[in-house]
Amino acid sequence: MRLETILRAQAERHPNKIAFICGGERLAYRDLCGRIQRVANGLRKQGIGPGDRIVLFLSNGVEIVELFYAVFTLGAIVIPVTTRLTPNELQHICSDSQPRAIVFDGDGASISEVLQANPDAVRITTGENVAGAVAYSEIAQAAPGPLPPLSIESDDAIIMYTSGTTGEPKGAIITHANIVVQHCFVNAVEWGISSEDRYLVTTPLAHRTGFARLANSLTLGGTLVVMKKFDPRETVETIAREGITVVGMVPTVCRMLLPEIMAGPPRCASLRRIVVTGEAFPVELKRQFMALLPNVRLVSFFAMTEVGGVTSLSHEEQFGHASSIGRPTPGVEVRIVDDAGKDVQPGEPGELLVRVGQPGRYSVMRGYYNRPEETAKTIKDGWIHTGDVARADDEGYLYIVDRKKDMVLSGGFNIYTKEVEQALLQNPNIADAAVVGVPDAVFGEAVAAFVERAPGKNPTAGSVVEHVRSLVAGYKKPKYVFIVDALPRNSLGKVLKRDLRDQALDLVEKAQRLDRGA
């Protein structure tokens, strides 16, 4: 079961239904499929075929949607890359994946070094008259002739590179089966979404969350509405204009949308489902959202690139188990184990392991591209070792405590940075926060907190420490507080803790020198 065959089936059933909207572009299912077939033939003329890897370094638009499905049609593999990545990050991906083609916007000047470093890759541009590159418009004008049938063994769809916040990015191989099972069957049952819905994408389609909504919509036969870039006011206006019923977002986007929604809640009257993933969703933010949009059903879920969806928290569970990531989706097996691999008791923290049948067949990735050793370390006896520290309560609700590498060991106590960060985020003067461990002469390690001030607010280090002390045990409070205008983030918006650790070491050393009067 492949994505392009599902799309063609939807086009046969609903040829005139609008499948895709972006800006002024509106395409019915029949027209979208016809364009995809032309693009597939155009790519084939460039020598692209089964198993080839194609890097899409593109912003949101009809081109990236057509290319996803055209590449699938050829049995080739998409490597979606957000345009926020630096040339250095893009080159790492290209060096690792050895793409047959690189597709980019405009003249490619910003990635000229990458193009030069990959001379064997076909260059395809959405621009015109770019030296050494084939224009996408030329490829899209190819005749829509028949293509050779694909082998039933050809199932790899996407290589999605992990964010690399704790190490070098690795390419997770996501199969057609992974995508269909997760985004067509499981999401439809768990969230109650269908062909009747109109799905809004505010994030890059090159991101896992953006592509997930694309897959939801086009596999179920809905209408996909894509924003070229996120803007709070434009988002609310798009919801009203297009009658959006389903939107996916992270809590940060919720925060940014809140003032716009407050200015006119009726504009979002069509919304019926909001799905939220990413960082912890503050309870007060949930309350405000639900009060403004009482007819919306909210579901939050925990997912990983390598694993797909693991757990979810239904609308009714949002406040009774507010800090939980929910219970496992039916069919998903989880274990929480200690360092010896033995299952821990309820309430005790341990590493979260996930299994969903044979890797690549259901929702778990097939493995890391060209990295058998990394794959073997991560997948053991079918179990994905997530690297997340979690605990379960007596009812089976799971709670993410920390990443294993982000745990601070101070004076014999395990301090989970996620818990301290959640305490910090309850301070109205703080917009965001990240916690890392730093060396300590007495306790081995100490807690250092980087605090991003809220607009118009001016928290002090002392007030931040006292706030945390009021919410968690005293030994968990930060010894060092660094107030910053913005936390360093990667292209996916995740905080770069490795950068913060380096900064913390320098700042702590300077503070210690001042204390010594040096």
Mean pLDDT of 102-119: 95
Query: How far, in Å, CA of 509 to CA of 505, rounded?
Result: 6
More confident residue, 324 or 72: 72
Mean pLDDT of 65-77: 97
Provide the β-strand partners of residue 438.
Answer: 446
pLDDT of 167 over the 80 cut? no
The confidence score (pLDDT) of residue 490 equals 81
pLDDT tens digits, 394-450: 999 999 887 776 778 787 677 878 889 988 999 999 999 999 999 887 778 899 999
The confidence score (pLDDT) of residue 2 equals 95
pLDDT of 322 over the 70 cut? yes
pLDDT tens digits, 440-480: 877 788 999 999 999 899 999 999 999 998 888 788 999 99
Mean pLDDT of 62-91: 94
Q: Note every long-range contact of 329-337, with CB atoms under 8 Å and residues 24 or more positions apart, other chains counting.
A: 329/186, 329/190, 331/186, 331/356, 331/362, 332/356, 332/363, 334/310, 334/392, 334/398, 335/383, 336/390, 336/391, 336/392
The confidence score (pLDDT) of residue 166 equals 45
Residue entry with tokens 């993933």? 277
| pTM (2 d.p.) | 0.84
pLDDT tens digits, 230-264: 999 999 999 999 999 999 987 778 888 999 999 99
Question: Could you give the strand order of the β-sheet that contains 480-484, starting from the edge strand earlier in sequence?
Answer: 430-440, 444-453, 480-484
The confidence score (pLDDT) of residue 165 equals 43
pLDDT tens digits, 254-296: 888 999 999 999 999 999 999 988 656 777 788 888 899 999 9
Other Cβ atoms less than 10 A from the Cβ of 166: the count is: 14
pLDDT tens digits, 177-186: 999 999 999 9
pLDDT tens digits, 193-226: 999 999 999 989 998 889 999 999 999 999 999 9
Ranked by mean pLDDT, which of 85-99, 156-170, 247-261, 411-425 comes out on top?
85-99
The confidence score (pLDDT) of residue 163 equals 58
Which domains does the chain show, CATH number per domain? 1-12+29-154 (3.40.50.980), 411-516 (3.30.300.30)
Torsional sign, CA 264, 269, 270, 275: positive
Query: Which amino acid type is present at position 459?
Result: P
Asked if residues 239 and 267 have their Cβ atoms less than 8 Å apart, the reply is yes
Q: Band of the pLDDT at 511, cuts 50, 70, 90?
A: confident
pLDDT of 392 over the 70 cut? yes
The confidence score (pLDDT) of residue 412 equals 64
